A and B are shown apart, each in its own frame.
Chain A
Amino acid sequence: MKKRLIVNDLQANKLVAVSTCIFMAASAMLLGLSILLFGSLSSSIDCLMETAQTPDFLQMHAGEIDEEELALFSEERGDVEAMQVCRFLNLQNSQLSIGGKSLIDNMQDNGLCCQNHSFDFLIDAENKRIQPDPGEVYVPVCYKREYGIQTGDVMQIGLQELGVAGFLRDSQMNSMMASSKRFLVNQADYERMRPLGHEEYLIEFKLREGSDTNAFSTAYEDAGLPGNGPTITYPLVKMMNALSDGMMILVILLVSAVVLFISMLCIRYIILTQLEKDKREIGLLKAVGISKRDVRSLYFSKYLLLSVFGCLVGVIAALIAAEPLGAQMRELYGEAGHMDLIYPLMILGSLAAEGIILLSVYRTLGKMEKMSVVRALYGQGNYGKKKNLYLPIGIITASAVFMILVPWNIQSTIAAPGFVTYMGIGESQVRIDIRQTEAVEEKAKAAAREIEQDALVRDYALMHTGSYKTVLPDGTAYNLMIENGDHGRFPVRYLEGSHPDSRDEIAVSILNSKEMNVHVGDTIRVYPDLGDNHAGPVSCTVCGIYSDVTNGGKTAKACLAGYEDQTPVMWSVIYLSLEDDRLAGAWVEAYRTKYSSHDDGIKAATIADYIRGTYGQTIRNIQKAAVVSAASACLILFVVTLLLLRLAIWRERSDSSLKKALGFTSADIKEAYVKKTFQYVLPGIAVGCFAGIVPGQSLAGALLGSMGAYGFHFIINPIAVFVVAPVAIAAAAALATWASLKEVGRIRAYECLGARTGND
């Protein structure tokens, strides 16, 4: 009987049943998908790092090394499990081309290396260690899609050629956020190519389980071991690996939370309207002796059935959607392990979404218990205040706009040139890096002199970075990477305070400020290398804190250069702006031809290219999530508007019939519905735009904080925000209104004269 009642009810209210099911399926799908993608990503990265045996500490070094000294250091330390020195042949990008496509625009340090013997293995698509044959080269998998490379293509290094035998996964440098990329070749080929590049060293340590990487890093620096290059630690590698796809997953998670909210709201309205409609029947069931608990359970069973179906559809949809969304992830990090755990977790996530909805359903159904039998029997009283069915249309319009705008705004912000200022890079048009070469300082100064003479250049700033010993306010010694120069010309975004202006000021990155436990106003003693002139330390007051993801995120900015400081320069950067910013691309092209193509240590790029190269993967992934999110938002709004307007028309059927009896036309009644609907849709759009920009910014700020970009402000695309999104949403609402108003034409004027159950 219960089954028949439920089945008949579902058949009689198909639209309501289908809409409820869609909400339940969408919630289950999005939460399940987030868990599936997150689990797969996390497991793939773990699996890759485990198979590849990623080092815990890596120091890149350009220059001579003493391997015996390193071996002695690692033997003396109890926390070192293994140590190895790998050679990396840094090649000029202008010399490189693969499948006929030049890598001259590439911002990465590309180079050759051989397979390691102890750990840090480069592995293939099947997670097997690669042993290339002579004449073969394995290309980083992240270039596969970017350059459309295929196995069998020819890689040219100057005049030498190697055949692309496949693609490699590099657990350390897979992410485009890592600034170097390794190409794997045979030992003989490596030796053959040596004269073409500049050899650097990767000094790698595998630490024992439970060792403190930070403590090891400090000890390494204190020991005065080679350190002319960036330091990378295991957690940083993992973070960089996780970020590009992780951002997309976080966006999907955000969307799933909004959809869950919308689902609960809509289903609540559906139930209350249904209860209103079924009031007499509920009264009857109670009157004939069916307990209120049993009546509630009867209704609940219907939603339980719908949720089982919704969950099933949601899980299948999540599995289907995970295929394209996880394609890049699988390509970069390989297949995930522990799927026997991830799939049940995903199903649990989908069930949790259903559970939350069902809980809300159960609570809402509780309202029917409160109404007395007699009032229900005579159709008197309401289940709470009579619901305004247009209000949820407004709320959901706002939520849908929010759902569209937040991913769009995140994407436009990351893609905007100004975004780099959140990442510790000055806002300019061109960036020239002079690093991993000999005589960095001299080369940088020479380049700066040339630039100064260039009539096209409006302004420039030269920055030198070196490692300084410092003493913190609490007396602790700390090695600090300080970038010296004029920081006022192309400032980064400061979360607190501002850039250093004088010798006694220093700004630190947020990661450093946390680790050093210093705040604006604190004083740090910095020890510059003054040669024979032992003038002592410089007391620097912390004048600003900024966010930074470059060079491991632990940096500082000061103006120590030019005061007899002889601290070796590890690398230099020149930021510059041009008189005509449209010429940035052409200027860089000309500069490369003139200078950097002759020197492997000088790399020039427009900031736009720099962003594309570094965050391209992330932007593409967020774009995918933004498309999914926008499509879901429009679909949800369409379904909600269709459903709620149908319910409103049903509820006001008698009034509409009366109007017709009094001489109103269908068009008059429809017009009133359109006006009423858009009275809520339009403010909903305005609220959604506001929410997508202001609270959305805080939410996105929290997401981007995980990328290291703190104190974030949206850089919005006004056409997308104020034209495209509102028009798309208004169109979805208009389409649904048009579809639901067809019902008005079917209302007859005589209906208001009295409806009864029988036929006489």
Chain B
Amino acid sequence: MGTVLTVRDLCKGDILKSIGFEIQEGEMIALMGPSGSGKSTLLYNVSGMDQADGGEVRLGGIEIVGLREDEKARLRLNQMGFVFQQMNVLANLNIIDNIVLPAVHAKKKQRRELYKRARALMDGFHIGDLAERRVHEVSGGQLQRACICRSMMMEPEILFADEPTGALNQAAAMDVMEAFLQINRAGTSILMATHDSKNAGVCERILYILDGEIKGELKLGKYTRDDAKEREKKTLRWLDEMGW
């Protein structure tokens, strides 16, 4: 198993202080910590959306920190996927057009092929019948699953998720997490910032951040439906120890 993402001595103002960790191929990692601990900042600096002050971030063989804005954008387009808490979509496009948007921009495949793939992804996440709907005509959970489809269109090496269920009710959140597991099982690495111990419990590892530093790590191993309850308990205990 190769390393997908390597982070070393990553710094950003007072928020991130010499952070270091690695993500292996097919791994699903949760970032936990109280509000203001630096989870989202870490995600944005690792993905090149924000400019780190120092340190090293390697995606595959490419060092991200020193890249120009356009090069980072190209990298995000081709090798990374994103899912945000706010379910950011373009209000002027319907659901399927929102999903294919980055892939169409990348111009790597024919448009027909892209729509076919988008439909397949939507079917996989049980929103196949919403393709032509406007964004305000679907529920939050459905919209977030559409965002996951969009993030998967370019078959990224890694998917970043920032509180993906934060704005959803419990049922919708479960659907979304199911979608993440489905992606991860297919081999895509995931780094997810979350407040929810249940979500964190399905990940292989949990990194605990406090005041811009990784204070601890919990290894849970691959998730199976059978040990879900046990994992959640273990997670809660560990978080308790960490002062959560």
A1 surroundings in chain B (CB, below 8 A) = 97, 100-101, 104-105
In the bound complex, how far is the Cα of B135 from the Cα of A281, in angstroms?
13
Q: In the complex the two chains form, is B89's CB within 8 Å of A284's CB? A: yes
B169 surroundings in chain A (CB, below 8 A) = 760
Q: In the complex the two chains form, is B140's CB within 8 Å of A281's CB? A: no
Is A502 positioned at the interface, with any CB of B under 8 Å from its CB? Answer: no
- Which parts of A282-296 form the interface with B (CB within 8 Å)? 283-294
Which of B59-67, B69-77, B177-185, B216-224 contacts its partner? Answer: B69-77
A280 surroundings in chain B (CB, below 8 A) = 86, 88
A12 surroundings in chain B (CB, below 8 A) = 91-92
B86 surroundings in chain A (CB, below 8 A) = 280, 377-378, 757
Is B155 positioned at the interface, with any CB of A under 8 Å from its CB? Answer: no
A289 partner, pick from B74, B93, B142, beta carbons under 8 A: B74
- Contact A290:B73 (CB < 8 A) given known A759-B136, A760-B139: yes
B102 surroundings in chain A (CB, below 8 A) = 288-290
Is A756 positioned at the interface, with any CB of B under 8 Å from its CB? Answer: yes
Chain B's nearest CB lies how many Å from the CB of A472? 70
Is A211 positioned at the interface, with any CB of B under 8 Å from its CB? Answer: no
Q: In the complex the two chains form, is B87's CB within 8 Å of A286's CB? A: no
A285 surroundings in chain B (CB, below 8 A) = 90, 101
Chain A interface, number of residues (Cβ within 8 angstroms): 30
In the bound complex, how far is the Cα of B86 from the Cα of A591, in angstroms?
91
In the bound complex, how far is the Cα of B85 from the Cα of A280, in angstroms?
13
Nearest residue, chain A, Cβ from B90: A281
Contact with A along B92-130 (1 / 0, CB 8 A): 110001001110111000000000000000000000000
B167 surroundings in chain A (CB, below 8 A) = 756
B89 surroundings in chain A (CB, below 8 A) = 284, 757
Is A679 positioned at the interface, with any CB of B under 8 Å from its CB? Answer: no
Q: How large is the interface on B (under 10, 10 to 19, 20 to 34, 35 or more residues)?
A: 35 or more
In the bound complex, how far is the Cα of B76 from the Cα of A283, in angstroms?
13
Q: In the complex the two chains form, is B88's CB within 8 Å of A291's CB? A: no
Is B201 positioned at the interface, with any CB of A under 8 Å from its CB? Answer: no
Contact with B along A740-760 (1 / 0, CB 8 A): 000000000000000011111
A757 surroundings in chain B (CB, below 8 A) = 86-87, 89, 91, 135-136, 140, 143
Is A223 positioned at the interface, with any CB of B under 8 Å from its CB? Answer: no
Q: In the complex the two chains form, is A288's CB within 8 Å of B76's CB? A: yes
Q: In the complex the two chains form, is B44's CB within 8 Å of A283's CB? A: no
A288 surroundings in chain B (CB, below 8 A) = 76-77, 82, 101-102, 150-151
Nearest residue, chain A, Cβ from B100: A1
In the bound complex, how far is the Cα of B84 from the Cα of A280, in angstroms?
12
Is A4 positioned at the interface, with any CB of B under 8 Å from its CB? Answer: yes
Q: In the complex the two chains form, is A756's CB within 8 Å of B140's CB? A: yes
Chain A's nearest CB lies how many Å from the CB of B111? 8
Q: In the complex the two chains form, is A283's CB within 8 Å of B75's CB? A: no
In the bound complex, how far is the Cα of B87 from the Cα of A12, in angstroms?
20
A665 surroundings in chain B (CB, below 8 A) = none
Residue with the greatest number of chain B CB neighbours at <10 A, chosen from A8, A286, A288, A374: A288
Q: In the complex the two chains form, is A4's CB within 8 Å of B91's CB? A: no
Chain A's nearest CB lies how many Å from the CB of B192? 16
Chain B's nearest CB lies how many Å from the CB of A91? 76
Is A566 positioned at the interface, with any CB of B under 8 Å from its CB? Answer: no
Q: In the complex the two chains form, is A289's CB within 8 Å of B76's CB? A: yes
A275 surroundings in chain B (CB, below 8 A) = none
A283 surroundings in chain B (CB, below 8 A) = 88
In the bound complex, how far is the Cα of B82 from the Cα of A293, in angstroms?
21
A286 surroundings in chain B (CB, below 8 A) = 49, 73
- Which parts of B23-42 form the interface with A (CB within 8 Å)? none
Q: In the complex the two chains form, is A287's CB within 8 Å of B105's CB? A: no
Chain A's nearest CB lies how many Å from the CB of B185? 23
In the bound complex, how far is the Cα of B80 from the Cα of A286, in angstroms?
13
Chain B's nearest CB lies how many Å from the CB of A436? 77
In the bound complex, how far is the Cα of B104 from the Cα of A5, in angstroms?
12
Is A9 positioned at the interface, with any CB of B under 8 Å from its CB? Answer: yes
Nearest residue, chain A, Cβ from B82: A287
Is A251 positioned at the interface, with any CB of B under 8 Å from its CB? Answer: no
A378 surroundings in chain B (CB, below 8 A) = 86
Q: In the complex the two chains form, is A377's CB within 8 Å of B100's CB? A: no
Is A185 positioned at the interface, with any CB of B under 8 Å from its CB? Answer: no
Nearest residue, chain A, Cβ from B72: A289
- Contact A373:B92 (CB < 8 A) given known A1-B100, A289-B74: no
In the bound complex, how far is the Cα of B76 from the Cα of A758, in angstroms?
26
Is B197 positioned at the interface, with any CB of A under 8 Å from its CB? Answer: no
Q: In the complex the two chains form, is B105's CB within 8 Å of A294's CB? A: yes
Q: In the complex the two chains form, is B138's CB within 8 Å of A9's CB? A: no
Chain B's nearest CB lies how many Å from the CB of A290? 5
Chain A's nearest CB lies how many Å from the CB of B3? 22
A372 surroundings in chain B (CB, below 8 A) = 49-51
B141 partner, pick from A5, A9, A287, A760, beta carbons under 8 A: A760
A293 partner, pick from B70, B78, B101, B142, beta carbons under 8 A: B70
List 5 additional A-B contacts (Cβ < 8 Å) besides A284-B90, A288-B82, A759-B138: A4-B97, A286-B73, A291-B73, A758-B141, A760-B141
A-B contact pairs, 12 of them (CB 8 A): A1-B100, A1-B101, A8-B92, A288-B82, A290-B73, A290-B102, A290-B105, A373-B49, A377-B86, A378-B86, A757-B140, A758-B136
